[in-house]
Amino acid sequence: MQTTKLCKGVRLTEFFMPTLRNAPSDAKIVSHQLMLRAGMIRQESSGIYSWLPLGYRILTKISEIISQEQNKIGACEMLMPTIQSADLWKKSGRYDDYGQEMLRINDRHNQEMLFGPTNEEMITDIFANFAQSYKDLPKNIFQIQWKFRDEIRPRFGVMRGREFLMKDGYGFAIDEEQHKKIYNKIFVSYLRTFARLGVKAIPMQADTGPIGGKLSHEFIILADTGESEIFCDKEVIDLDILQEKIDYRGDLEPIVNKWTEKYASTDEMFVEQEWAKVPDTNKIATRGIEVGHIFYFGTKYSEPLGLKVADKDGSLKPLHMGSYGIGVSRVFAGIIEACHDEKGIVFPSSVAPFDVGLVNVSLKDENCTKTCDEYYETLQNNDIEVAYDDRDIGAGAKFSDMELIGLPWVIVVGKKSIEKGLVELKNRTTGQTQDLSFEQAINIVKGK
Amino acid sequence: MQTTKLCKGVRLTEFFMPTLRNAPSDAKIVSHQLMLRAGMIRQESSGIYSWLPLGYRILTKISEIISQEQNKIGACEMLMPTIQSADLWKKSGRYDDYGQEMLRINDRHNQEMLFGPTNEEMITDIFANFAQSYKDLPKNIFQIQWKFRDEIRPRFGVMRGREFLMKDGYGFAIDEEQHKKIYNKIFVSYLRTFARLGVKAIPMQADTGPIGGKLSHEFIILADTGESEIFCDKEVIDLDILQEKIDYRGDLEPIVNKWTEKYASTDEMFVEQEWAKVPDTNKIATRGIEVGHIFYFGTKYSEPLGLKVADKDGSLKPLHMGSYGIGVSRVFAGIIEACHDEKGIVFPSSVAPFDVGLVNVSLKDENCTKTCDEYYETLQNNDIEVAYDDRDIGAGAKFSDMELIGLPWVIVVGKKSIEKGLVELKNRTTGQTQDLSFEQAINIVKGK
């Protein structure tokens, strides 16, 4: 799908895509290795990465899908600054709690500042300034923002980095019942978000600590390389949210129930007796990567930060809040953990950096290059995003770069095929190739 | 124009848009006052702002236009981290030079880090790792990224903030001649960018210091409230880049010449003798706001940071570089300085947060509300971005909010007008109203 910020096509002679033959030896997990090899990221300091053009493009697509699904539930996107004053954190009591993971800074006037690891305090303060009564509720606000946690041992590339991109959302309601509706909307929108990103993310009950109740879930991508053990009923995995009819203004409880009634649990929350009830043929014990976490925490921040509004009867009530997060840079790595083979990445089409690669294997043949230049324009005019390999390097290197970066389709054009009026179309997932007319190839790539 | 990240429509009951009747007294310039009043930004610390949903939406549109015009010249978008290691800056010699404006940080392992105020050092280092020969050149890379400069007295809202959004681009070439082509492409793309943003930005010769030559220009928006005096020939202002046929693969020198041959200068670079040559009837002495700066600095960073590549003859040559900046959050304020009246902002349509406001003035009338709900859907289905005021507040407050936030058009729907089968369409720029059928109103808003 064409997006407006991103260009429709690039020529690899102009594109900055420094692919590597081998990943550095300190890259331990496959997503880290492949992201380095594909020229998507570059480490600048421990746990701190540059997003090179190819990586930035994918990160942008992931962010756009997240925003789109948030928009559908009426959530408002905004952006808070990365640098925060320490004052709010002292009020909430978390300034001391956070310890060395918080990056603390003194500015030139010796004010205590910090690079935000999360934003409950700031959003509560912003909202307190605005909300006066129950009429201003419910509200659902989110941002996609760079955060910093000074991990003692950053590792696994962007999976556990120090500077990382996160979608953090905050819900505000007059009471628990109203908040439950926000919670359900976000629950369903998260199912849709991850499904659109091309991965299976299973919601699993998370610890609610002193808050109590059941309104806390983690969303876990299944991947053999995941950090935590998970146990789940096969029937949850087989559900498909994109097939559901969803009315966000209606009652979402039945959908939430459908996705939570079958057993699915991290090892942390594992309950032997419940697991025993799952039919043996349905038992799936594997590993997973946490990519989302939603939780309702009631008045935990609104009480200490003084966020109260007038209810219908005029009495002042503390707001009921919840936090809703997706690890954006982390889900990028998670997608690669779930979608790769021995040749490289096999991107789901929704987040593939381009729909198709166009490979000119007879660069020195004037006719072939002229034809490729025309195909490059035609593909873009057909709303197909294309990476055009017009580099003066061997065909083998071109093919392996295309396989490495995981484009769903590759169109190969050479002197000989042109003479026959054909191109070769290659499917990344199956590896199958077909000789076709260029028009037929376009139709297949467009999914017609 | 519809963008994919942003939603097509919002209901103001769901949208978080805390407008204010009066701006705080410490807001001295009109853009700062209006951005606060329109609920676009909120100050979190001195010179540090949150971008509330309305402001974030506009900032996103501005960024998208910048990216699109960069894409057209084959520039590659990427993203560097905000936190950098001090090491590179020590190598380039700027670590000490930068003084207290640089926000310095020690991490938990006591490594010296900093919040990047700019990225010449890091991009040079990234590129040095990749570029091996003249074949990898020329390259044009940019990012739109949050930066931090610890100004001693931040003021004028986001015009001179501490945490600010900047587009910084970097060009790499084998020699000055090749770099000149990059420079010209960016020069022309900047003219197009600012024209699309709805403002007149005039290129003016800037100081090149020890580098010498003429390859440095500032782009200045004309506004009475600008920080610097400017002097220019009326003929430059009358030029319109959007009317030019541009072939970025061709020779751009004639276009650059056309935009630089008439006199235009800041007071810093003012030359009395040149100004005297401008016909008196063409002399325009006014004020301006710098929103862009491009400059070629040759081997200034490539020499100390050791960025050399093999030329055609095999000899190692230091790269010729240039920096290309646009103050993104600053241009937001600049647009408002240039486009407002006594009632509020009058946004150019390209950056208006929505194309149209839909105001329901008979909220309690079931038929009117049902009709408005339908209109809200119909507008979105026609690719018109709409802010639907369905709030339970007085009509006067609704109208003044619409005027304040500067939407190009407002459609007013009430019990009486519906009975006549009409809506009222109001033009923000002219203030004129028309009674029309809803279909006619749609056509006018779409520019048919």
What's the Rg (C-alpha) of chain B? 24
Residue A143, in any domain of the structure: yes
Cβ contacts of B51 within 8 Å, gap of 6 or more: A78, A79, A80, B40, B41, B59
pLDDT at A3: 53
pLDDT (mean) for A50-57: 98
Does residue A132 belong to the interface with chain B, where contact is any CB pair within 8 Å? no
User: Which of B5, B82, B152 is opposite residue A108, by nearest beta carbon?
Assistant: B152
pLDDT at B2: 41
**Which of A345, A365, A388 marks a domain boundary?**
A345
How many CA atoms lie within 13 Å of B375's alpha carbon, on the beta-carbon side?
A: 32
Per DSSP, chain B holds a count of helices (H) and strands (E) of 14, 24
Both B335 and B364 in a single domain? no
Closest CA to B231 of B261, B268, B194: B268
Q: State yes or no: pLDDT of B1 exceeds 60.
A: no
CA–CA dist B143, B161 (Å, integer):
19
Q: Report CB contact under 8 Å: B129, A77.
A: no
Residue A306's pLDDT band (cuts 50, 70, 90): confident
Q: How many angstroms separate the first and last alpha carbons of chain B? A: 14
Query: What is the amino acid identity at position B72?
Result: K
pLDDT (mean) for A150-172: 95
Closest CA to A336 of A66, A43, A40: A40
Residue B3's pLDDT band (cuts 50, 70, 90): low
Both A279 and A341 in a single domain? yes
pLDDT at B223: 87
Residue A90, in any domain of the structure: no
What pTM was estimated for this model as a whole?
0.97
Residue B408's pLDDT band (cuts 50, 70, 90): very high
How many domains does chain A contain in total? 2
CA–CA dist A246, A244 (Å, integer):
6
Contact of A46 with A112, CB cutoff 8 Å: no
Both B195 and B155 in a single domain? yes
Both A154 and A263 in a single domain? yes
pLDDT (mean) for A87-116: 94
Better pLDDT: A155 or B84 = B84
User: Which of B56, B103, B135 is opposite residue A392, by nearest beta carbon?
Assistant: B135
pLDDT at A224: 84
Q: Report CB contact under 8 Å: B83, A122.
A: no
CA–CA dist B280, B278 (Å, integer):
6
Cβ contacts of B124 within 8 Å, gap of 6 or more: B170, B301, B302, B305, B307, B321
Both B247 and B139 in a single domain? yes
Q: A 253-292 residues with CB below 8 A of B?
A: none
Both A68 and A196 in a single domain? yes
Residue B284, in any domain of the structure: yes
pLDDT (mean) for A97-118: 95
pLDDT digits (tens, 9 = 90+) for B10-38: 999 999 999 999 988 889 999 999 999 99
Q: A 364-393 residues with CB below 8 A of B?
A: 392
CA–CA dist A423, A421 (Å, integer):
7
Write out chain A residues lying below 8 Å of B10, CB-based.
Answer: 74, 76
Both A45 and A150 in a single domain? yes
pLDDT digits (tens, 9 = 90+) for B255-284: 999 999 999 999 999 999 999 999 999 999
Residue B344 backbone phi and psi in degrees, to 5: 150, -150
Write out chain A residues lying below 8 Å of B143, CB-based.
Answer: 56
Query: What is the amino acid identity at position B227?
Result: E
Residue B8, in any domain of the structure: no
CATH number at residue A391: 3.40.50.800
pLDDT digits (tens, 9 = 90+) for B194-226: 999 999 999 999 988 877 778 999 999 998 888
Residue B258, in any domain of the structure: yes
**Which of B345, B368, B392 marks a domain boundary?**
B345
pLDDT digits (tens, 9 = 90+) for B160-196: 999 999 999 999 999 999 999 999 999 999 999 999 9
CB-based burial, B423-444: b 16+ in 10 Å, e otherwise:
bbbbebeeeeeeebebeebbeb
Q: State yes or no: pLDDT of B319 exceeds 80.
A: yes
CA–CA dist B170, A427 (Å, integer):
36
Both B242 and B382 in a single domain? no
pLDDT (mean) for B381-391: 96
Chain B residue at shortest CA distance from A72: B7
Closest CA to B203 of B274, B261, B278: B261
Both A251 and A310 in a single domain? yes
Quote the minimal CA–CA distance from B236 to chain A in Å. 30
CA–CA dist B2, B11 (Å, integer):
17
Residue B4, in any domain of the structure: no
Residue for token digits 């960069």? Answer: B70
CA–CA dist A29, B15 (Å, integer):
42
Both B184 and B326 in a single domain? yes
Residue A92, in any domain of the structure: no
Percent of chain B with pLDDT over 70: 99
Residue A2's pLDDT band (cuts 50, 70, 90): very low
CATH number at residue B26: 3.30.930.10
Residue for token digits 């004010």? Answer: A111
Q: Report CB contact under 8 Å: A42, B135.
A: no
Closest CA to A108 of B149, B33, B327: B149
Both B289 and B405 in a single domain? no
Residue A114, in any domain of the structure: no
Quote the minimal CA–CA distance from A9 to chain B in Å. 9
pLDDT (mean) for A52-62: 97
Residue A293 backbone phi and psi in degrees, to 5: -150, 125
Helices (H), A197-342: 234-238, 253-260, 272-277, 328-338
Both B309 and B375 in a single domain? no
Two tokens, residue A10: 């690039």
pLDDT digits (tens, 9 = 90+) for A12-46: 999 999 999 998 888 999 999 999 999 999 999 99
Q: Where in the sequence is the domain holding A302, given as residue range(s)?
A: 18-80+119-345
User: Which of B15, B72, B122 is opposite residue A76, by nearest beta carbon?
Assistant: B15
CA–CA dist A49, A69 (Å, integer):
27
Q: What is the mean pLDDT of chain A?
A: 95
Q: Report CB contact under 8 Å: B78, A53.
A: yes
Better pLDDT: B49 or B300 = B49
**Which of A297, A316, A345 marks a domain boundary?**
A345
Does residue B73 belong to the interface with chain A, where contact is any CB pair within 8 Å? no
Query: What is the amino acid identity at position A134?
Result: Y
